[in-house]
């Protein structure tokens, strides 16, 4: 997994400190009701510091000044948490912005000129920022692609490490789902004709930068709901504390030695009882969650997508490229009927000479390593077929290239979706074809009676059988194997522990799909699925009231990506897929969605854990402050004073010190996220209540008592 490395230097930390003061603007804080009330309380306390007799207050200017400073620190620390998190987001946008480079473009004067006929006279050199959408450029080996576009002719190896961080080059070619190219990437071999699809300032990178910046600023639906809840709690506490002022006046009317409740202490009580901790860290948690997604080279178009990933009930996974490596390679050759191994190897080799696919190259490689005998040295026996998966490693001692010297690419019969076969026509008139078993069976005049059994055995072992026919006579089978991705079973099990149902939807046959599903422990699988079936599957799951996620890279995946609650599109895929999804994976790794689900879960868990801690804190501070403030008027409350703090002033100050400084102590946790393990919702709730609820209840008592003891040792408030 490639991560974007983001560093926050000393200058940026200074900037976060400066931004903390800028964010004191009430027009900014009013969007966070909790901190807005804290700021209002700070202003009231400041007025009392300037004029201690205001509101009939009886405390000293120094006492009120300390309260004012602590309340101001509370707001500043909260602002710092948000500013620091936002700087990380801005650093990510800056890292993407640094990838944008101006280069020269080879604009084609005649766009219809065939790629093999292009020379210097057909090219006009222009700055990349002068190229407009719809124009066609020529990109040769060593050239940098000037602007985002679509390959309309040619095939080339492209270095996209500047965008994805992956060092391995990728193939971009016309036709199919690998036509999209990104400006700023370099062609390593061959050449392309590219039709520019973006205007200046509207490139893929420009869009990604905008998405990163906007996603950092926008509140997610859950955060909006949490803000409304915190606003409601704040209003309740404001009313309750305001009522206490009049209650104190009532008590003062008949209680000797009690002059009423001090305004500054009531403000301190209000701030201490409000959920200031989670109110201060809420924005930082959201921005940090977005940051963790972007660090994994996934661009989320909104915070909603990240949260939805954390709430998913079902995850639809494709087989090829997600559960398996997607690179099917030849493992063995199996002869059938009267044919021998040499016949099958030779026919397979010759039919693959000009086949540039991964499968074709692997057949050539395997054929060059093998001879006419099997690995155990035995000779083929009529219709006998070796067990699927038994790779042969004996050195070649037969001329599998016999008769290939006179062959050229003109003899090659390329694969087509209609025939589902490819092959070669030899100069002597011999026709060799290889392809899907049923397609070759239909093409051939005859086939051995045992053809189906070995092909079924290969499918049931997770492989793909290709039948080989010579002059319309089936002579054998090529066994291809698509390996499972390392550790994929463990990752799927981890997702299942989170309570997410895993579903595999693949275009492969039932036998292969069942074998793969059994190997990795998939909950449910669907074979021979096309684009229409995928979107129907998404809709059926959603009809049950569940949230569903999926990945895709092709135009035919776009409807399902758009319909899914979380649609992770591949950067290497088509523009239609990238526009339909609400996330884009720059690494084009379909299994990345498993990581995204974990990040979403961690985001929700972090918010839940710190909310639990904050509420538990408020309960503990209630039992600290209320007895200290009212014990003089209501002696019975002394029984609640379990800490036995030295003086009411010490209790108020110690509580505010804890309330302010717990925020910066929790900033690293809010930015990093709580340690997350794949568990069920019930287990996570129990852990939250024990660790963060219990910790939030106990921590205030311990630290407030320690602060009070320090005040006593220093002779403060005595």
For 192-213, b where at least 16 C-beta lie within 10 A, e where not — what string?
Answer: bbbbbbbeeeebbbbbbbebbb
* CATH class of domain segment(s) 104-202: mainly beta
Which pLDDT score is estimated for 718? 63
Q: How far apart are the first and last CA of the chain?
A: 59
Q: Is 393 among the annotated ligand-binding positions? A: no
| pLDDT level of residue 452 (50, 70, 90 thresholds) | confident
Q: Is 421 among the annotated ligand-binding positions? A: yes
430: how many CB neighbours lie within 10 A of its CB? 13
| pLDDT level of residue 69 (50, 70, 90 thresholds) | very high
Which pLDDT score is estimated for 540? 93
> Span 525-552, mean pLDDT?
88
Q: Is 25 among the annotated ligand-binding positions? A: no
Q: Is 105 among the annotated ligand-binding positions? A: no
Q: What is the DSSP letter of 203?
A: S
Which pLDDT score is estimated for 211? 63
Contact 283, 82 (CB under 8 A): yes
> Span 465-478, mean pLDDT?
92
For residue 68, is pLDDT > 90? yes
Residue 528 falls in which region: left (phi positive, over 0), alpha (psi -120 to 50) or beta:
left
Q: Is 633 among the annotated ligand-binding positions? A: no
Q: Is 647 among the annotated ligand-binding positions? A: no
Q: Which residue has the tokens 């019969």?
A: 413
The full DSSP string for 89-111 is HHHHHHHHHTT----EEEEESST
| pLDDT level of residue 379 (50, 70, 90 thresholds) | very low
Q: Is 417 among the annotated ligand-binding positions? A: yes
Q: Mean pLDDT over all residues of the chain?
A: 81
The string of pLDDT tens digits covering residues 146-162 is 888 888 888 888 887 76
Shortest CA distance to 628 belongs to which of 338, 269, 286, 322?
A: 269
For residue 1, is pLDDT > 60? no
224 or 664, which is more confident?
664
Which pLDDT score is estimated for 663? 92
Which pLDDT score is estimated for 374? 37
Which pLDDT score is estimated for 9? 62
676: how many CB neighbours lie within 10 A of its CB? 17
Which pLDDT score is estimated for 397? 44
For residue 375, is pLDDT > 50? no
Which pLDDT score is estimated for 197? 83
Q: Is 95 among the annotated ligand-binding positions? A: no
For 432, list phi and psi in degrees, rounded to 5.
-120, 130
Q: Is 416 among the annotated ligand-binding positions? A: yes
Catalogue the active-site residues: 318
For residue 690, is pLDDT > 60? yes
Q: Would you list the domain boundaries of the chain? A: 10-92+213-294+598-714, 104-202, 298-323+485-586, 329-375+386-483
Q: What is the DSSP letter of 380?
A: P
* CATH class of domain segment(s) 298-323+485-586: alpha beta
For residue 632, is pLDDT > 70? no
> Span 668-676, mean pLDDT?
84
Q: What is the DSSP letter of 634?
A: -
> Span 633-642, mean pLDDT?
74
Q: Is 422 among the annotated ligand-binding positions? A: yes
The string of pLDDT tens digits covering residues 187-219 is 888 888 888 887 776 666 676 676 666 655 667
48-57, 184-193, 205-214, 394-403: segment of lowest average pLDDT: 394-403
Which tokens belong to 652?
Answer: 């108020």
> Span 507-511, mean pLDDT?
80
| pLDDT level of residue 581 (50, 70, 90 thresholds) | confident
Contact 688, 608 (CB under 8 A): yes
Q: Is 419 among the annotated ligand-binding positions? A: yes
Q: What is the DSSP letter of 169?
A: -
Q: Which residue has the tokens 């959920």?
A: 275
184-188, 305-309, 548-552, 629-633: segment of lowest average pLDDT: 629-633
CATH architecture classification, 329-375+386-483: 3-Layer(aba) Sandwich (3.40)
């Amino acid at each position: 997994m490639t991560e974007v490395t983001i560093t926050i230097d000393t200058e940026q930390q200074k900037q976060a400190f400066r931004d903390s003061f800028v964010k004191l603007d009430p027009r900014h804080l009013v969007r966070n009701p909790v901190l807005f009330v804290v700021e209002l309380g700070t202003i009231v306390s400041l007025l009392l510091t300037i004029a201690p007799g205001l509101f009939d207050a009886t405390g000293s200017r120094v006492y009120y000044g300390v309260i004012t400073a602590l309340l101001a620190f509370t707001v500043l620390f909260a602002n710092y948490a948000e500013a620091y998190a936002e700087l990380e987001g801005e650093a990510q946008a800056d890292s993407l912005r640094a990838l944008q480079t101006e280069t020269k473009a080879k604009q084609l004067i005649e766009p219809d000129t065939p790629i093999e006929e292009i020379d210097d006279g057909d090219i006009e050199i222009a700055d990349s920022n002068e190229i407009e959408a719809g124009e066609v450029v020529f990109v040769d080996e060593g050239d940098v692609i000037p602007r985002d576009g679509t390959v309309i002719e040619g095939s080339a190896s492209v270095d996209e490490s500047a965008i994805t961080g992956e060092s391995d080059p990728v193939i971009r070619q016309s036709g199919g789902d690998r036509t999209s190219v990104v400006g700023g990437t370099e062609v390593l071999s061959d050449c392309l004709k590219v039709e520019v699809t973006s205007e200046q300032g509207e490139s893929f990178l420009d869009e990604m930068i905008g998405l990163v910046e906007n996603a950092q600023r926008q509140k997610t639906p859950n955060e909006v709901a949490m803000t409304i809840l915190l606003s409601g709690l704040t209003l309740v506490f404001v009313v309750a504390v305001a009522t206490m002022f009049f209650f104190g006046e009532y008590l003062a009317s008949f209680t000797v030695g009690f002059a009423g409740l001090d305004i500054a202490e009531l403000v301190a009580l209000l701030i201490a009882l409000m959920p200031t901790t989670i109110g201060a860290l809420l924005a930082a948690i959201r921005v940090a969650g977005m940051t963790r997604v972007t660090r994994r080279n996934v661009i989320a178009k909104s915070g909603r997508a990240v949260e939805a990933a954390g709430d998913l009930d079902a995850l639809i996974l494709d087989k090829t490229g997600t559960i398996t490596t997607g690179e099917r390679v030849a493992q063995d050759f199996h002869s059938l009927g009267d044919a021998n191994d040499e016949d099958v190897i030779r026919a397979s080799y010759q039919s693959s000479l000009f086949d540039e696919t991964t499968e074709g190259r692997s057949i050539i490689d395997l054929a060059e390593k093998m001879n006419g005998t099997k690995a155990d040295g035995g000779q083929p026996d009529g219709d006998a077929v070796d067990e699927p998966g038994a790779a042969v490693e004996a050195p070649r001692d037969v001329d599998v290239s016999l008769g290939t010297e006179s062959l050229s690419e003109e003899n090659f019969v390329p694969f087509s979706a209609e025939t589902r076969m490819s092959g070669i026509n030899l100069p002597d008139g011999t026709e060799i074809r290889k392809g899907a078993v049923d397609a070759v069976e239909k093409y051939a005049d005859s086939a051995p009676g045992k053809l189906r059994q070995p092909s079924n055995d290969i499918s049931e072992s997770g492989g793909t059988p290709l039948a080989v026919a010579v002059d319309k006579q089936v002579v054998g089978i090529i066994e291809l194997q698509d390996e499972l991705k390392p550790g994929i079973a463990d990752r799927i099990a981890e997702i299942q522990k989170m309570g997410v149902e895993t579903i595999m939807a693949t275009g492969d046959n039932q036998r292969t799909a069942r074998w793969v599903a059994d190997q990795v422990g998939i909950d449910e699988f669907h074979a021979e699925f096309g684009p229409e079936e995928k979107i129907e599957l998404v809709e059926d799951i959603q009809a049950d009231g569940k949230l569903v996620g999926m990945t895709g890279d092709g135009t035919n995946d776009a409807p399902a990506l758009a319909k899914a609650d979380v649609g992770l599109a591949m950067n290497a895929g088509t523009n239609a897929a990238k526009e339909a999804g609400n996330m884009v994976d720059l690494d084009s790794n379909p299994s990345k969605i498993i990581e995204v689900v974990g990040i979403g879960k961690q985001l929700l868990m972090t918010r839940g854990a710190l909310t639990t801690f904050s509420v538990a804190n408020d309960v503990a501070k209630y039992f600290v402050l209320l007895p200290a403030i009212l014990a003089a008027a209501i002696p019975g409350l002394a029984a609640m004073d379990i800490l036995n703090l030295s003086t009411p002033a010490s209790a108020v100050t110690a509580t505010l010190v804890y309330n302010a400084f717990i925020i910066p102590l929790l900033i690293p946790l809010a930015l990093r996220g709580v340690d997350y393990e794949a568990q069920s919702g019930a287990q996570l709730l129990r852990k939250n209540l024990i660790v963060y609820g219990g910790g939030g209840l106990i921590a205030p008592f311990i630290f407030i008592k320690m602060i009070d003891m320090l005040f006593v040792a220093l002779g403060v408030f005595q």
